[in-house]
Structure 1
Amino acid sequence: MTKFARKPVHKPVLPLAVLAAALLSACSMAPTYQRPAAPVAAAFPADTAGAAARTSVPLPLAAGAREAVDTGWRDYFADPRLQQLIAAALENNRDLRTAALRIEEARAQYDIQSADRLPNLNANAAVTKAKTPAFLSPSGQTSIGKRYDAGLAISAFELDFFGRVKSLNDAALAAYLATSEARQAAQISLVAQVAQAYYTERAYAEQYALAQQTYDARARTYKLTQQRAEVGASSRLDLRSSETLMETARAAALTLARQRAQADNALTLLVGQPASGANAGAAGAMPSDRQIDDLSALPAGLPSDLLARRPDLRAAEQRLISANANIGAARAAFFPRISLTAALGSSSPSLNGLFDGGSGSWSFAPQLTLPIFDAGRNRANLGLAEVRKNIAVADYEKAIQTAFREVADALAARDYLGEQVAAQRAVQEAQADRLKLLQLRQDNGVASSLDVLDAQRELFSAQQALVQARLLRTTSAIDLYRALGGGIK
């Protein structure tokens, strides 16, 4: 009997096949991304941006001046109590925590998607037992067969010839980057909100103190008028007018006390912990005019600078990039999808012979799937991806327009609120001087008490309006810092 030599079995080299597949998956059918043109003017309004707007050239930085994006909030807000509140908010604010967790969520989704670009290699071991009836057995006897298998396998790895997986990976990466930028935008917004809430509470506190002082003074005046009325030196009309002013001041003080408590509650929500704790006694006052001037001295630059400065605009652009990449995945769905399933291992009818010589086994099963009829599913998916990209373009352009308006509004406030505060201070000083003159005239019997009471009412209104104007100017400086993409450190 002639014995034939056993031919050697050549095993496929799976790593080389995987490497070749990876090299072939470098193309993408996504449209070439082009940043949309900014749908805003080339410069900010001339009345608010000064020379920078008129010449379309950014104002030169003064000595020592810095861009908003390079100015950390600790450098911008000098109030020690406010710095403590901002630091606590950055640590405890729940919205910011959610934004940070959104980053982790997007990162995990990106990791999941990027894993599809590499084959999944699994180790497996299996045992199979089967009973064959006698009438089906070649030996005519019932038999029980056993088979043991062990090896490594690659299951349904897609060879990304048309860039479907790559496009999905690019979309997931852009979504992750957008989420990261969104967190930075949320942090800048939180810093601004805490500063605004803090100075609002301080303004209410200052107005309340003025109202309480006014009430105390009017209460003393009312008591004197009441004593004069009892002896016939003052009329009942004078008494009622004095009482009206006293109760008006009392009502104003109560209203401001309520508003201050509500402002403190809003600040507590932003900070994430009680804002009026042990350090409440260290709370500062409203910033002075000089301090507000320093806050508002940030250079505006040009609208195009906002694209690099503001993280919310960068996030909107990343969402647009993600939508653009999804079009590539939708286009690739029209083309054949090639997947690879392969295994390399050992098989034996007995467990102790599983790894003996000659027990090696392998399988190689490429698969080609060509879409022929899908009832318009792929075309609808492509249309959906294109519509979503158009929506992302519109959202990106709207974000630019909103940013342009926010900066322009803040610049307008910077230009006009300073003059408004100066005018309101002049009104207060004039009312205070008017009251002194009328009191002198009343002492000399020239002016009536009603004129003095009217001057007191006008002075109180002027004092309250001045505090409100200073708060508006402080808030506008905070808005300018946020609108220009202020620093987050």
Structure 2
Amino acid sequence: MSRRTIMIALLLPLGACSMVPAYVRPAPPIPTTLPTTREEAALPSLNYRDIFRDERLQKVIEQALANNRDLRVAAANIAAARAQYRIVAAAELPSVGGSITATESDSGTGRTNVGGSPVSGGARTNYAINATVSAFEIDLFGRVRALSEAQQDRYFATEAGAHAIRLTLIGDIATSWLKYAADNSLLQIAQDTADNAMRSVALTKARLDGGIAPRTDLAQAQTVLATAQSDLAVQQTALAQDSNALTLLVGARFDPALLPESIAIAGPTVAELPAGLDSGILLRRPDVVQAEYQLRAANAQVGAARAALFPRLSLTTVAGLASNGLSRLFTANAFNYSAAPSISYPIFSGGVGKAAVRQARAQFDAAVATYEKTIQTAFREVADALARRATIGAQASAQMQLVAASSDNFRLSDARYRGGIDSFLQSLDAQRSLYSARRSLVATQLTSATNLVTLYRTLGGDALIETDAKGPVPVGAPSENPATSE
């Protein structure tokens, strides 16, 4: 073995050297517990079926997970990121090529020597089989490895992002489904009001014809009827738009029988989530995990930039067999080998290398800030949802009492008007108050139900994942992995 070959063999183990800074997860810039007055509880392993208990909603979600185009885009992005990682990681291994050649040459048949005697010659064929390693970089300072790590973390970030998209999709479907329920309730209220208004128009017209009611009563009754009919048309439009929104989220047409009839029935099917949770749970939200993988990628990129300041050693080798006869091609004498190591070092580049290191460090600092802001945003989202949860129950109870009182008031006012005791204006005011109270109750019931959806989404639901060096790891109950496997 030649001295040069021995030197190259001794240099190969140095590829384990790394210039990547040791990664330390930044401390979360939030309180250790979420704001609540309840005792702390551990978040159970949740599946969306545990929270959204109506089987109709579950079926809509199942269809969406199979057909939604955003999930398909996310799966394609994961596949692309995985392929890009493998392209970058391939630089850590030598690229080996092979060739088989047959070369014919003519030594000059028909030539004669000085004495006039013919010179022996003719066509000759040379055969060669070669394997070539072209410009393989021996990763002395870990530059190639750092680039591979950075790309791997970007791939993992894409995978975590797919978990976030899935979680958001489930929340959006639940919210849209509940909104349809609320609009269906508002449609029924508008229909009830229109029916009452039609009866009022008939009554006031009869009283006007009998000479016991002024024409203004009929005009006011007709105004209420026109308003109710207008609201009826608005709610019919809203229902159609809600159905269209759900169809887009699902990614395919679904059975209308899966739609809810009212918010009063659909709202209570959404289960409560535990409060008093450790804020550390937010570190397992998929968007936070995605931001951390992007931070890890930026950290590895710093190592790649630092390693680029040092010399690069590359090696080109050719080994093969060559002979002018096939019978001798596979003999020991036919073997040939050559190695051409080269070292490159930027003597003058105008400070590009150091500037690249500063740029990588600045991008790392930006990634740290992005990671911390993502955690802070997650904390605020949960805190806001918990704050609303603390008061929505009292608001709903008061609203129900208001509806009951308004209903009694309208019933009594209508009876007194029919009995000729009160004017139509008092009955009309009572009817408007009841209409407003019923609509407000629907809005409150919708807020209460969608608040639970928000808590499911902001706490991570069944999309909680851990940051691991081998990729995102689901926490708790198994969750449908949005990544596609090969």
Q: Normalised by the size of structure 1, how large is the TM-score?
A: 0.86
Q: Could you tell me which amino acid in structure 2 is paired with residue 175 of structure 1?
A: R
Pair 1:469 & 2:459 matched:
no
Once the two structures are TM-superposed, the CA of residue 196 in structure 1 deviates from its matched residue by 0.3
Kept after mapping to 2: 8 A contact 1:30/1:325: yes
Kept after mapping to 2: 8 A contact 1:287/1:474: no
Kept after mapping to 2: 8 A contact 1:178/1:319: yes
CA deviation vs aligned residue, 1:446-466 (integer Å, no higher than 9, x gap): 311110011101101111111
Rate the CA distance shift 1:431–1:17 in 2: closer, same or farther, 3 A: farther
Corresponding residue to 1:23 among 2, 9, 13: 13
Q: Which residue of 2 aligns with 1:210?
A: 189
Rate the CA distance shift 1:270–1:131 in 2: closer, same or farther, 3 A: farther
For residues 466 and 319 of structure 1, the distance between their equivalents in structure 2, rounded to whole angstroms, comes to: 45
User: How do 1:79-98 residues align onto structure 2 when only pairs under 5 Å count?
Assistant: 79-98=54-73
For residues 361 and 441 of structure 1, the distance between their equivalents in structure 2, rounded to whole angstroms, comes to: 115
Q: Could you tell me which amino acid in structure 2 is paired with residue 397 of structure 1?
A: E
Pair 1:175 & 2:154 matched:
yes
Q: Could you tell me which amino acid in structure 2 is paired with residue 457 of structure 1?
A: R
Structural RMSD (CA): 2.8
Pair 1:334 & 2:272 matched:
no
Kept after mapping to 2: 8 A contact 1:435/1:455: yes
The runs of 5 or more residues in structure 2 that have no matched partner are: 464-478, 480-486
Q: Could you tell me which amino acid in structure 2 is paired with residue 307 of structure 1?
A: L
Q: Which residue of 2 aligns with 1:302?
A: 278
Kept after mapping to 1: 8 A contact 2:54/2:266: no
User: How do 1:66-465 residues align onto structure 2 when only pairs under 5 Å count?
Assistant: 66-67=43-44, 70-128=45-103, 147-275=126-254, 277=255, 279-280=256-257, 283-286=260-263, 291=268, 295-308=271-284, 310-351=285-326, 353-465=328-440
Q: Could you tell me which amino acid in structure 1 is paired with residue 86 of structure 2?
A: D
- Helix, strand or coil for the counterpart of 2:346? coil
Once the two structures are TM-superposed, the CA of residue 373 in structure 1 deviates from its matched residue by 1.3
Corresponding residue to 1:50 among 26, 37, 41: 37
Kept after mapping to 2: 8 A contact 1:428/1:462: yes
- Helix, strand or coil for the counterpart of 1:295? coil
For residues 258 and 316 of structure 2, the distance between their equivalents in structure 1, rounded to whole angstroms, comes to: 71
Kept after mapping to 2: 8 A contact 1:339/1:366: yes
- Helix, strand or coil for the counterpart of 2:150? helix
The runs of 5 or more residues in structure 1 that have no matched partner are: 1-9, 53-58
Q: Could you tell me which amino acid in structure 2 is paired with residue 34 of structure 1?
A: V
Rate the CA distance shift 1:205–1:42 in 2: closer, same or farther, 3 A: same
CA deviation vs aligned residue, 1:62-105 (integer Å, no higher than 9, x gap): xxxx53xx110112111111111100111100011111111111
Once the two structures are TM-superposed, the CA of residue 43 in structure 1 deviates from its matched residue by 3.1
Percent of aligned pairs with the same residue?
38
Q: Could you tell me which amino acid in structure 2 is paired with residue 297 of structure 1?
A: L
Q: Which residue of 2 aligns with 1:6?
A: none
Rate the CA distance shift 1:470–1:133 in 2: closer, same or farther, 3 A: farther
Once the two structures are TM-superposed, the CA of residue 257 in structure 1 deviates from its matched residue by 1.0
User: How do 1:468-487 residues align onto structure 2 when only pairs under 5 Å count?
Assistant: 468-487=443-462
Once the two structures are TM-superposed, the CA of residue 340 in structure 1 deviates from its matched residue by 1.3
Q: Which residue of 1 aligns with 2:474?
A: none
Once the two structures are TM-superposed, the CA of residue 290 in structure 1 deviates from its matched residue by 8.5
Kept after mapping to 1: 8 A contact 2:273/2:456: no
For residues 265 and 13 of structure 1, the distance between their equivalents in structure 2, rounded to whole angstroms, comes to: 72
Kept after mapping to 2: 8 A contact 1:81/1:284: no
Q: Which residue of 2 aligns with 1:56?
A: none
Rate the CA distance shift 1:289–1:18 in 2: closer, same or farther, 3 A: farther
Once the two structures are TM-superposed, the CA of residue 321 in structure 1 deviates from its matched residue by 0.1
Once the two structures are TM-superposed, the CA of residue 208 in structure 1 deviates from its matched residue by 0.4
Once the two structures are TM-superposed, the CA of residue 27 in structure 1 deviates from its matched residue by 2.0
Q: Could you tell me which amino acid in structure 2 is paired with residue 372 of structure 1?
A: I
For residues 49 and 372 of structure 2, the distance between their equivalents in structure 1, rounded to whole angstroms, comes to: 32
Once the two structures are TM-superposed, the CA of residue 12 in structure 1 deviates from its matched residue by 10
For residues 322 and 281 of structure 1, the distance between their equivalents in structure 2, rounded to whole angstroms, comes to: 44
Aligned length: 457
- Helix, strand or coil for the counterpart of 2:296? helix
Rate the CA distance shift 1:146–1:35 in 2: closer, same or farther, 3 A: same
Corresponding residue to 1:37 among 27, 31, 53: 27
Kept after mapping to 2: 8 A contact 1:21/1:160: no
Rate the CA distance shift 1:281–1:234 in 2: closer, same or farther, 3 A: farther
For residues 229 and 462 of structure 1, the distance between their equivalents in structure 2, rounded to whole angstroms, comes to: 30
For residues 18 and 467 of structure 1, the distance between their equivalents in structure 2, rounded to whole angstroms, comes to: 78
Kept after mapping to 2: 8 A contact 1:175/1:318: yes
Q: Could you tell me which amino acid in structure 1 is paired with residue 279 of structure 2?
A: P
